[in-house]
Structure 1
Amino acid sequence: MAEQNLKKVGLLGYGRLGQALATRLLTEGSQHGLELAFVWNRDPRRLQSTLPPALRLPDLGALGDRSPDLVVEVAHPKIIHDFGAQILSHADLLVGSPSALADRDTERQLLEASRKSGHSVFVARGALWGAEDISQLDASGGLQSLRVTMATHPDGFRLEGTFGRGPQEGPRTVLYEGPVRGLCPFAPRNSNTMAAAALAAPSLGFDGVVGVLVSDLSLTDRHVIDVELRGPPGPSGQSFCVRTQRENPAEPGAVTGSATLTTFWGSLLACGSRSTPKPGIQLC
């Protein structure tokens, strides 16, 4: 593909996931019609040793000067809160921190900016298994309840404020069980899979999907995500039910599991291949 036809991709965030995406864009992006336009990070010092100066974006407010086609956020929900609408005035947006959308004002601002600009808001499914099946069942009216349990070692949590700082009650402790909207502000980096589920099932949404956050001392090398969904009772009184369990290998203390890196790359490629933007919020 000719270089002038490559879509320009900007990355916000240069942690483990951001570094993996940058590497793949640099080494094989052109095969997929993509090129890395810039990388921004909250701590710019992290960029200095690994990225050439031309790819570093010092000022997030100046991202429009790089003329991106797609901006990928893999930093923190606060970036979506503070800059999401501004980004959409320049480019499509792939949200890697869907917990940001648990905030009603943020969701409203993104929708308004998307409709005004015509740019799309994509949400990465991340570690959510069966997102399309959940969406289809929800659209057909066959989804009555959805519960997502995320369990990991306590070193893998990045919790806000005093949430979850109590003593470990044995080897396995339930830190939270309730509506996903109530969890996202306190565990913004550990609730993204639950937030993706809330977006996949709009009839339930952030207030109807149940999220369970579990600290498990035995999970030193993986994250475990259980998804349980049920349909309404049928004539016999029995309900349709699906339960899945996803074990995602993870380095000790890592927020992002290894398999999620591959899944996110697939989401990026899917967004980059869209030839016609579609305003609104959509899982990718």
Structure 2
Amino acid sequence: MAPDQSLKRVGLLGYGRLVGDLLFKRLGGVPTNLPPPGARRRSPDLVVEVAHPQIIHDFGAQILSHADLLVGSPSALADRDTERRLLEASRRSGRSVFVARGALWGSEDITRLDASGGLQSLCITMATHPDGFRLEGPLSKAPREGPRTVLYEGPVRGLCPFAPRNSNTMAAAALAASSLGFDGVVGVLVSDLSLVDRHVIDVELRGPPGPSGQSFCVRTRRENPAEPGAVTGSATLTTFWGSLLACSRRSTPKPGVQLC
């Protein structure tokens, strides 16, 4: 990242054909394997995970003993033990756990409303063509009934283990709305045969009833162009690059989990 000296040395975990490839090219990276014994090792200031939540489960805490961490698979934090180990490692090392907001629109507004006590419910619906899903466990065998099928509706924590690559936006929302968290934010996963070239994410949040009995309500819809069968939409790539730049320019580490 030589063009801007305020940026840090970045290590990239994951080289998928979309996110990993884009980041690698923009960073001006050089592919390397593990150095031979005795060779000088590179020491990144920031490690970016764009592979799979299992990387965070297995190595997230270890990474934090050496560098800040940008989590590209926030569904990993739905696992309570993983979240605990990351927080403990962050406090010990004084390093930051950044979480990419990805396709979540309005994350700052959700956080501000939540902090003010004005958030009562939050529901995230993600719909795409069935070829865009990478499902595991019982969801991988869920029947498709008609052109549009709701595969899951319930707490985000219950979805993440079975849709680790398709629930990251919902996981980011659970982190943005900390008072609701993974157990209070509702995720809805929809298989839609008509969505061959895009992902559609609907966000609905409500506040508590006011004096008139009416509740504050916001609904947003994000239609993200995507190649057929792709897990990640094209607009999310630009968002992720912005997240990387934002967290890499922070000069003072702040322990804990932060959306970026």
Same structural fold, with TM-score higher than 0.5 when normalized by the shorter chain:
yes
**1:101-180 maps to which residues of 2 (within 5 A)?**
101-180=77-156
Aligned ranges 1:51-62 → 2 under 5 Å:
52=30, 55-58=31-34
Instruction: Report runs of 4+ in structure 1 exceeding 6 Å deviation.
Output: 1-5
Work out whether 1:261 is the aligned partner of 2:237: yes
Residue 263 of structure 1: SS of its match in structure 2? helix
Q: Distance in 2 between matches of 1:80 and 1:256?
A: 19
Q: CA deviation at 1:103?
A: 0.3
- The structure richer in helix per residue is 1
Over 3 Å counting, the alpha-carbon distance change for 1:88 and 1:169 in structure 2 is same
CA distance in 2, matches of 1:124, 1:220: 25
Alignment equivalent of 1:197, drawn from 162, 173, 196: 173
Q: Higher RCO, 1 or 2 (CA under 8 Å, sep at least 6)?
A: 2
1:213 and 2:213 equivalent? Answer: no
Counterpart in the other structure of 2:26: 24
How much has 1:160 moved relative to structure 2?
1.1
AA paired with 2:105?
Answer: W
- Corresponding position: 1:88 with 2:64: yes
For 1:11, the equivalent position in structure 2 comes to 12
**Count of residue pairs brought into register by the alignment:** 254
SS of the residue corresponding to residue 259 of structure 1 reads helix
Deviation track 1:213-272 (CA, whole Å, cap 9, x = no partner) reads 000000000000000000000000000000000000000000000000000000000011
Q: C-alpha offsets along residues 65-114 of structure 1, whole Å, 9 cap, x if unaligned?
A: 32110000000000000000000000000000000000000000000000
TM, length-normalised to structure 2: 0.94
For the residue of structure 2 that corresponds to 1:66, the secondary structure is coil
Percent identity of paired positions between Structure 1 and Structure 2: 83
The TM-score with structure 1 as length reference comes to 0.87
Structure 1: which 5+ runs fail to align?
27-35, 37-51
Q: CA RMSD in A?
A: 1.6
- C-alpha spacing 1:237/1:254, structure 2 compared with 1 (3 Å): same
Structure 2's unaligned 5+ residue stretches are none
Amino acid at match of 2:51: A
- Residues 114 and 280, structure 1, Cα contact 8 Å, conserved in 2: yes
Give yes or no for the alignment of 1:78 onto 2:79.
no
Please tell me whether the aligned partners of residues 164 and 175 of structure 1 are also in contact (alpha carbons under 8 angstroms).
no
